[in-house]
């Protein structure tokens, strides 16, 4: 385990009581003095601070968009990203079994430790400090978010995009399934009659395939008529589209 | 609508910006300047403050008990109780329709307004003030809670009670159903062979009837052998038992 001093630098916060930080990076597999109570506290201070940041930054959006955006910002994968920026895996204290099975890479363990650290800062020196530490980690993320779309799934985004242009809803059709029962690949076609768009994508479930197809369809719609204020948006979208893991784009007919 | 000054007295908090309190008691049916964004903010500051109160008060309990206790303390009916103590219904600003249909008595509207008030206090003068106002409302509630049992359903409590005494689990049996498909009454028997306890209770679903029967069974178990430290507990329990709405107690055989 690397010295916790460098983790304090990354957090830009120096603990008065170093034992709190030590506890925050201790998984229950390591010892009885583990981080789960701190995680409980940290989860709630995090939820509140992110709520307050969103509330203040976006004064016009409604509580539905605030809630969805918050949920997206505090979900496990977002916290695991923060853990990665902090190089948290090298500070984790794990039991033998977790060490061997690669627990230091597991998103749930990393996310829980991030929350526990926020809880530890709150205990160490109060709300203002915790707020500062959390806001610092979220600053680069908050710069670029659009609370109207953040955390919405592609099918919802496609539906809203079409409704905004008064175009009839897309039709999703399963055109093939491959493989055995518990290892199936679904191929789904999404078509938007009025725009003569038909795209096809694959996924491990019908839902996953539909979402992948919706992502391709959004790209196709925006390629036909880029959203206001974007230049060359169609080209940029195209490359995103091609990077989809299981998607099989099909040319517009 | 009564003057908001008396609501400020009940909260023991004086707003710098009275418009914030006005907005907090304004339902969306009344005007566009309603309380839903404040409710989003208030919900999260409330969750955090209650988490911190529980964390500090109960230093030995694990995060599972903390989470369940918190969920119970911030649920709609708990907030509606706080609203009642604040006489909040007389301050609510509702639209015509909600007024006519008794919206000022609706638990969801009352609970949302309580959260919005907490959010308004936070905006008005920061975290410390919000914490103080929330802690004051929760002080009488926190005195009496047992985080090991708070928010657990009767079947779980009965199971834990029996496990603690090394007694085999209770058996639930549906002994009758009455009424038509969408308006059924289930009668369920709960028996604990070793203690020769058999109780019967009714409910609108099998689950509800089982929970009611478990409540009666807990009373019966504790009447046989009161928990340590309680005097006359059995008698007190008996009256609780008899107040159950759909329960039909049956004598121990």
Q: Is B189 exposed, middle or buried (0-12, 13-18, 19+ CB in 10 A)?
A: buried
Task: Read off the pLDDT band of B63 (50, 70, 90).
Answer: very high
DSSP character at residue B226: P
State the pLDDT at residue A244. Answer: 38
State the pLDDT at residue B107. Answer: 95
Residue numbers of A annotated as active site: 43, 115
| List of domains in chain B | 4-142 (1.10.1520.10), 154-248 (3.30.160.20)
Task: List the single residue in A with minimal CA-CA distance to B128.
Answer: A127
Is A122 within 8 Å of B52 when comparing Cβ atoms? yes
Higher pLDDT, B80 or B232: B80
Q: What is the pLDDT of residues A164-207, one digit of tens each?
A: 999 999 999 999 998 887 788 999 999 999 999 999 999 999 99
Helix, strand, or coil (residue A145)? coil
| ipTM for this model | 0.76
Query: Which residue among A40, A55, A127 places its CB closest to the CB of B37?
Result: A55
Edge-to-edge strand list for the sheet holding A185-192: A171-178, A185-192, A197-203, A247-248
Decide if pLDDT at B246 tops 50.
no
Decide if pLDDT at B217 tops 80.
yes
Task: Read off the pLDDT band of B150 (50, 70, 90).
Answer: confident
Q: B123 with B150: CB under 8 angstroms?
A: no
Decide if pLDDT at B144 tops 60.
yes
State the pLDDT at residue B227. Answer: 67
Calculate what percentage of chain B has a pLDDT beyond 70.
89
Alpha helix ranges (H) inside chain A: 4-11, 18-24, 36-57, 63-74, 76-85, 96-100, 107-125, 127-142, 154-164, 206-224, 233-242
Q: Is B115 a catalytic residue?
A: yes
State the pLDDT at residue B242. Answer: 30
Helix, strand, or coil (residue A172)? strand
Is the minimum CB–CB distance between A47 and chain B shorter than 8 Å?
A: yes
Decide if pLDDT at B250 tops 60.
no
State the pLDDT at residue A245. Answer: 39
Q: Is the dihedral of CA A134, A138, A142, A148 positive or negative?
A: negative
Enumerate residue ranges in chain A where pLDDT < 50: 1, 231-253
Tell whether residue B96 is among the known ligand binding residues: no
Task: Read off the pLDDT band of B228 (50, 70, 90).
Answer: low
Is the minimum CB–CB distance between A53 and chain B shorter than 8 Å?
A: no
The mean pLDDT value for B214-218 works out to: 92
> What contacts B91, CB < 8 A, 6 or more positions away?
B1, B2, B4, B7, B25
Tell whether residue A112 is among the known ligand binding residues: yes
Tell whether residue A115 is among the known ligand binding residues: yes
């Amino acid at each position: 385990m690397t010295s916790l001093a460098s983790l304090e630098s990354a957090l830009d916060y120096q603990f008065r009581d170093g034992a709190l930080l030590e506890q925050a990076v201790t998984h229950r597999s390591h010892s009885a003095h583990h981080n789960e109570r701190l995680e409980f506290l940290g989860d709630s201070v995090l939820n509140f601070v992110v709520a307050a940041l969103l509330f203040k930054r976006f004064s016009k959006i409604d509580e539905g968009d605030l809630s969805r955006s918050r949920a997206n910002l505090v979900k496990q994968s977002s916290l695991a990203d923060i853990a990665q920026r902090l190089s948290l895996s090298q500070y984790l204290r794990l039991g033998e079994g977790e060490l061997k099975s690669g627990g230091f890479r597991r998103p749930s363990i990393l996310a829980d430790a991030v929350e526990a650290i926020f809880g530890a800062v709150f205990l160490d020196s109060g709300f203002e400090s915790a707020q500062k530490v959390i806001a610092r980690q979220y600053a680069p993320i908050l710069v670029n978010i659009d609370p109207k779309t953040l955390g919405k799934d592609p099918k919802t985004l496609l539906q809203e995009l079409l409704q905004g242009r008064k175009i009839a809803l897309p039709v999703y059709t399963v055109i093939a399934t491959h493989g055995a029962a518990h290892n199936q690949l679904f191929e789904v076609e999404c078509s938007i009659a009025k725009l003569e768009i038909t795209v096809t994508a694959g996924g491990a479930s019908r839902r996953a395939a539909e979402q992948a197809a919706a992502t391709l369809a959004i790209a196709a719609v925006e390629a036909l008529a880029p959203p206001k204020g974007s230049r060359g948006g169609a080209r940029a979208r195209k490359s995103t589209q091609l990077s989809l893991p299981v998607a099989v784009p099909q040319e517009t007919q």
